[in-house]
Structure 1
Amino acid sequence: MTRLPQLRDQKEGHKTLIAFMYALLADCLGILWMIHPSSGIVHGLVATVLAIHGRIIAAYLVHEAAHDSVFVESWANRYMGIASIWLAGCPYCNFDHIRKMHIAHHRDRTDLVEFDYRSFVQSSPGIVKTLCCVGEYCFIPIVETFMHLRQALGPLFIGILLPQYNQYFDPERIKSAGIGTTFQLAFYLFMWHHNALFWQLVCGAMMLHILAFGDAFHHTYDAVFPQYYTPGPGNRTAQYEEENTYSNLISISFPQLNLLNLNFGYHNAHHKRPMVPWYRLPSYHDKLYPTSNVIRSKVEGSAESEITLAEYACPQILSLKDIFASWHRHRLRRVLEEDYGEVHPLGAIDRARDFVGTLGASFLTV
């Protein structure tokens, strides 16, 4: 008889299971409303928003499972990670590969990325480069679409048809891509048959944007590609990690809003102790940066701005307003340039104005 898995956090671990059930319910309800015969524009929009949020939560649950922070047993975390990948709408991704790459990101304090999308765009025929740049300029997530297409089709076309050029796609990744891509194509046909493919495509595009934005401004690490990769942090110290990691909170004044992405914005706290589950990150953040509570009480009812509060609470916090501006300002530089840019010192106006950020760094597709 198989023993049931044990929650790592016996006291509050059920919160992760509740989040998983919410993701399942939101995604399923969203799809049902999309395909309902009487669905109009309003119903379609509501259904799409619900499905997007369910898939976003599922994606961040993949991240939790990759850190083995949900269950004591590694196999149980793996199964939850696989289920969450499917809920997130990326059934072609391989959980074991995601976990390996993401743990290397923490262990080696670098952005280990398998596919150099910048070189791909730069070396592509002019029409491809132009379409990519025009699409990104118009906020169409071309680069992230490339990354997902590579995960879905790369193992099949390269891993099977051109094995002499295959460096990365092992049999398990080929299997995941074969099963997941077949399912995804069948699902698109199903949505097209029910006149809901448009909403599904909007849902997918918005999810790619949100996940890309969530990962774009967390680090000013150097991107390292497998052919140049030497395992180990080298001279990248814990201080380097702290100084090159940034927390992009949805809100400091209203921390409950950070639950919208399972507290993923508390990134410095997460990198300090990756095993801390999502629901404990706010309290751990306040423990690391104890002035946050003091400043929060001082500015209550005052006219001080949230960015001032953020800067005093934790020097590594960047305001959502600033990174939104940088997301817009550097949308072409982010496609073509390798430099992540820089964050200006504490006290500077618009600290993130030269923070270019990156694309293609999602833990789902690296």
Structure 2
Amino acid sequence: MSRIEWPTLALGAVIYAMFVGLTWFYASLPWPVLVIGGGVVVAWHGSFQHELIHGHPTRLAWFNRALGLPGLALFLPFDRYAALHIAHHRDDVLTDPLEDPETYYWTAASWTALPIWARAIVTASSCLAGRLVFGPVWMIARFLQAEVGRWRRNEPGVRRAWAWHLPVAGLILGWVWGICGIDPAHYALMFVLPGTSLLMIRSFAEHRAAPDADRRTATVEQAGLFGLLFLFNNLHAAHHERPGIPWYRLPRWYRGERERLLQKNGGLIYRGYAEVMKRYFLHHHDQIVHPYRP
């Protein structure tokens, strides 16, 4: 029997409609509306792609993939996001700088090899204020540099992912620039970078190095509108244990399993993103060099 998760399909339609509306009416909208709306639509689309990676909203992998191929952030091919994120879900190597593609920790050797200016950026980005300001450009630049190396080495799936992504990104740019008249630099400043910053609020404190793998994944409760923007991925310990649960059912499942999950992750919980900001806006989340890797 087929399974169709209609709330996720409806969500995708809303996100793409928002994107079309914001870009079509770009010339008549004030820049604060564009920055807020553009950031929200790109971040929300990233959360939507995350759902697709985990097998939603249908059992048809090709259909789910087709929904996610239009990368509104432009720099990240959907197939590369999928491959890297599935690798991240190996909980036994979470936070490991050599094994976890989504970690922000460094090995001692890689940290020592960084030039002084790069160390300054990484150090600033270890607090939330720095992550929001410097993080998007730094992350995008590092990702693209790494992808060039993977392309040259012909690592499995990389060239195919970019071969699919570039024509689709060209169509998006054709709409944005050619039809709506939005300068690509303005699109980057009003859509891509704000959206990436919003997603970095979620990813900032969701993992922490620990000897016990079960204690490396946090939960942020009472997320408010951020919860909807992140499709309840703020309940990250729940998501890592049950990645197949669709976003709209995850809060209820979490409530039923809350005490067990908090006991399992050692009470690594934040009451909301206000607490995350209060604790880490100008303070480091953790040390930069991974504390448990020789």
The one-letter code of the counterpart of 1:26 is M
Preserved CA contact (<8 Å) 2:239 2:250: yes
Identity of aligned residues (%): 18
Q: Unmatched 5+ residue regions in structure 2?
A: none
Q: Secondary structure at the match of 1:289?
A: helix
Per-residue displacement from partner, 1:311-345 (whole Å, max 9, x unpaired)?
9xx944312222112331235x76x712489xxxx
Q: Unmatched 5+ residue regions in structure 1?
A: 1-5, 223-234, 292-309, 342-366
Q: Match of 1:101?
A: 84
Q: Match of 1:26?
A: 18
Q: Which moved more, 1:260-269 or 1:95-104?
A: 95-104
Q: Return closer, same or farther for 1:46/1:7 CA change in 2, 3 Å cut-off.
A: farther
Give me the CA root mean square deviation. 4.0
Q: Return closer, same or farther for 1:270/1:315 CA change in 2, 3 Å cut-off.
A: same
Q: Return closer, same or farther for 1:139/1:273 CA change in 2, 3 Å cut-off.
A: closer
The one-letter code of the counterpart of 2:282 is R
Q: Match of 2:283?
A: 330
Normalized against structure 1, the TM-score is what?
Answer: 0.62
1:285 aligns with 2:257: no
Q: Return closer, same or farther for 1:60/1:195 CA change in 2, 3 Å cut-off.
A: closer
Q: Return closer, same or farther for 1:327/1:339 CA change in 2, 3 Å cut-off.
A: farther
Q: Match of 1:8?
A: 3
Q: Which structure 2 residues correspond to residues 18-97 of structure 1 after superposition, within 5 A?
A: 18-36=10-28, 39=29, 43-83=30-70, 86-87=71-72, 89-90=73-74, 92-97=75-80
2: distance between equivalents of 1:127 and 1:271? 35
The one-letter code of the counterpart of 1:123 is A
Q: Match of 2:200?
A: 212
1: distance between equivalents of 2:193 and 2:64? 28
Higher RCO (Cα < 8 Å, 6 or more apart):
2
Q: Return closer, same or farther for 1:169/1:103 CA change in 2, 3 Å cut-off.
A: closer
Q: Match of 1:321?
A: 274
Question: Which residue, 270, 279, 282 being the options, matches 2:239?
Answer: 270
2: distance between equivalents of 1:66 and 1:263? 15
In the TM superposition, residue 15 of structure 1 has moved relative to its aligned partner by 0.7
Task: State how many pairs are aligned.
Answer: 279
2: distance between equivalents of 1:93 and 1:127? 25
2: distance between equivalents of 1:120 and 1:173? 27
The one-letter code of the counterpart of 2:201 is F
In the TM superposition, residue 100 of structure 1 has moved relative to its aligned partner by 2.8
Question: Which residue, 137, 140, 159 being the options, matches 1:171?
Answer: 159
2: distance between equivalents of 1:283 and 1:182? 40
Preserved CA contact (<8 Å) 1:69 1:277: yes
Q: Match of 1:126?
A: 116
1: distance between equivalents of 2:59 and 2:150? 34
1: distance between equivalents of 2:143 and 2:184? 25
Per-residue displacement from partner, 1:266-310 (whole Å, max 9, x unpaired)?
22222221111000011101111379xxxxxxxxxxxxxxxxxx9
Preserved CA contact (<8 Å) 1:141 1:208: no
2: distance between equivalents of 1:322 and 1:128? 28
Q: Return closer, same or farther for 1:147/1:181 CA change in 2, 3 Å cut-off.
A: farther
